[in-house]
Structure 1
Amino acid sequence: MTGHNITPEKTGLVFNIQHFSVHDGPGIRTIVFFKGCPLRCQWCANPESQLHEPEIAYNENKCIGTGECHLCFQACPARAIEERIDNKKVRIDRFRCTNCGECTLVCPSNALELFGKRMTVEEVLQIVEEDSLLYSRSGGGITLSGGEPLMQAGFASELLKEARARGITTAIETSGYADWNRMVMVCQHADTVFYDIKCIDPDKHKRFTGVTNDIIIANLKELNQNFPGLNIIVRTPVIPGFNDTEKDITAILKLVKSLTNVRYELLPFHRFGEAKYAYLGKRYLFIGVQPPSKEKMKHLEKLIKLYKREGVL
């Protein structure tokens, strides 16, 4: 089983590398966040991960204002930065902006930031290997996240393959929305796969994420069948108003029950990424939506325990 018609890539677009994670695989891990995702989940905590291209973010609270500084005006070759008369700050004309990043190089207060950097396999692994001692002691390693790593399958596969060659354990977080050959190309080099199943209802899935879930469910079944030794953990982000009912979770549990040696976890919705929407000139659709209560999560966790008692999770 190998991935076909996808060229291995030595470079990829990354928007963050995070050390010391303990929630994204065994042990202490380094998370490499890939830029680009085919889904548009309305609650997305990483809006900077969606576009497969660099993006300029502007944090108005850090900006010292046009009364003291005009460096970004002078640096922008596209003349995409304009003064706001109401508060002497700036705004970015997103239609003109080419995301070249020149403004970020001169901003003295770091109010402007470029999300997305093209990196080589070696550049990424040099950063990952800074914590090699922690991996050996904790059983940790590298986890690819996003965005959607399978959008850059050629780069993701090369990165995981080289990490394994250096004795680093590998994991990937995926929405499962990709051609099967991309799934194979990457997952053959993974020790653990965190697989998102957000909703079984295809119409509701498309309404809240922008895509249907038929290929997602089909890929999960194929992955479980074709990679029997792979550690697969199905995850569901519990989103109020979308999939937080007993009916929603039970439907997903029935799917998990049909698989072999697959674990299941719930992740409560949070709003940690809300501010980043404004930085990117985007609108956050979940304003005012509160995370599920502890009582709600306990109730849904009880459903999982019932299935575990039956020996299926």
Structure 2
Amino acid sequence: MMGTIFDIKRFAVHDGPGIRTTVFFKGCPLSCQWCHNPESIDSKPVCIKKTSKLNGREFVNDEMIGYKVSPDALFDELKKEQVFMEESSGGVTFSGGEPLLQHEFLFEMLQLCKAQAMHTAVDTTLFSSWEIVARMAEATDLFLVDLKLIDDQMHQVYTGVSNTVILKNIRKLVSGNVPVRIRIPMIPKVTTTPENIAMSIAFLSELKGGIEAVDLLPFHNTANEKYKRFHLDNQFMGRHSLKKEELTTIKNQFQEAGFTVKIGG
């Protein structure tokens, strides 16, 4: 069995507890207009032309985005940072893209990590069948669940898919006492509207006892260069992050509703 990934980030501190190694899976069923990993959406490795300049000369080279890897080869990479994971109560986070698209490969990786007592987290949209989600729940220690928009019509406009299955899967996970942290991207004028914040608090309040925490993930435009490199339309070019005071106001709203809240992952 082979999986397709496009990056491994070592010493990550915003993808779950402690110091972590984050593996980015390629492929995503959503097409969020603000995606900060646009290279993750296509499930296949792709070759792009990369232009660089040196001493006034321009060079064009092929660059592969994404590559195939076996579970054993990937696990060998993960073991390199195991001592830092253990000392910081960290572990491995499988992100993307959407790791549930490669659920057989993901399950194999979770099993390998579990056998070595590595803490695992799955960073997911939960846009998948419940059968797949339930199987991963048996093998992972934590779900980091992206919750973007509560209104289904708005969710379809900005991500390309309905959120019906996502909300159902969140409810089922929490009712099964599976550890869940909710991660809400703070996209100005989209997810941060008073309506969406109020609807998010109302939805999560129904599940409050089962939510470990809520992470508010500030929008950033560091992906601008990626959109240029991959010749993709950047619909959020020029959009700025919320000011600290605005984020604090939203954080206070969730805290007043009884949630443990963190700005950032």
Q: What range describes the TM-score normalised by the shorter chain of this pair?
A: over 0.9
Percent identical residues = 33
Q: State the one-letter code of the partner of 2:39.
A: E
* Aligned CA-pair RMSD: 2.1
1:299 is matched with 249
Q: How many residues align?
A: 260
More strand by share: 2
Gaps of 5+ in 1: 1-9, 69-87, 91-106
Superposed CA deviations along residues 130-176 of structure 1, whole A, max 9, x for unmatched, are 01111111111110000000000000011011111011111010011
1:256 is matched with 204
Superposed CA deviations along residues 240-262 of structure 1, whole A, max 9, x for unmatched, are 12111222112111111111320
Inter-partner Cα distance in structure 2 for 1:301 and 1:54: 38
2:75 corresponds to which of 125, 131, 134: 125
Superposed CA deviations along residues 214-267 of structure 1, whole A, max 9, x for unmatched, are 0100010011122x1x22001110111211122211211111111132021211
Q: Does residue 1:198 correspond to 2:148, yes or no?
A: yes
- Identify which range, 261-270 or 143-152, moves more after superposition: 261-270
1:247 is matched with 195
Q: State the one-letter code of the partner of 2:244.
A: K
- Asked if the contact 2:143–2:180 (Cα under 8 Å) also holds between the matched residues in 1, the reply is yes
Inter-partner Cα distance in structure 2 for 1:89 and 1:267: 36
- Identify which range, 178-187 or 298-307, moves more after superposition: 178-187
Map 1:1-313 → 2, pairs under 5 A: 10-60=1-51, 62-63=52-53, 107=61, 112-226=62-176, 228=177, 230-259=178-207, 260-262=209-211, 263-308=213-258
Name the SS of the counterpart of 1:207 in structure 2.
helix
2:263 is matched with none
Q: State the one-letter code of the partner of 1:179.
A: S
Inter-partner Cα distance in structure 2 for 1:187 and 1:115: 29
- Asked if the contact 2:6–2:66 (Cα under 8 Å) also holds between the matched residues in 1, the reply is yes
- How far apart are residue 64 of structure 1 and its match? 5.7
Inter-partner Cα distance in structure 2 for 1:23 and 1:143: 10
Q: State the one-letter code of the partner of 1:13.
A: T
Q: State the one-letter code of the partner of 2:120.
A: T
- How far apart are residue 205 of structure 1 and its match? 0.6
- How far apart are residue 206 of structure 1 and its match? 0.5
Q: State the one-letter code of the partner of 2:161.
A: V
Q: Which has the higher contact order (CA 8 A, sep 6+)?
A: 1
Q: State the one-letter code of the partner of 1:38.
A: P
Inter-partner Cα distance in structure 2 for 1:187 and 1:36: 21
Inter-partner Cα distance in structure 2 for 1:116 and 1:63: 24
Q: Which has the larger radius of gyration?
A: 1
- Asked if the contact 2:175–2:210 (Cα under 8 Å) also holds between the matched residues in 1, the reply is no
Q: State the one-letter code of the partner of 1:186.
A: M
Q: State the one-letter code of the partner of 2:256.
A: L
Name the SS of the counterpart of 1:181 in structure 2.
helix
Q: State the one-letter code of the partner of 2:8.
A: I
Inter-partner Cα distance in structure 2 for 1:184 and 1:119: 25
TM-score (norm 1): 0.79
Q: State the one-letter code of the partner of 1:129.
A: K
Inter-partner Cα distance in structure 1 for 2:135 and 2:53: 44
Inter-partner Cα distance in structure 1 for 2:38 and 2:199: 28
Gaps of 5+ in 2: 261-265
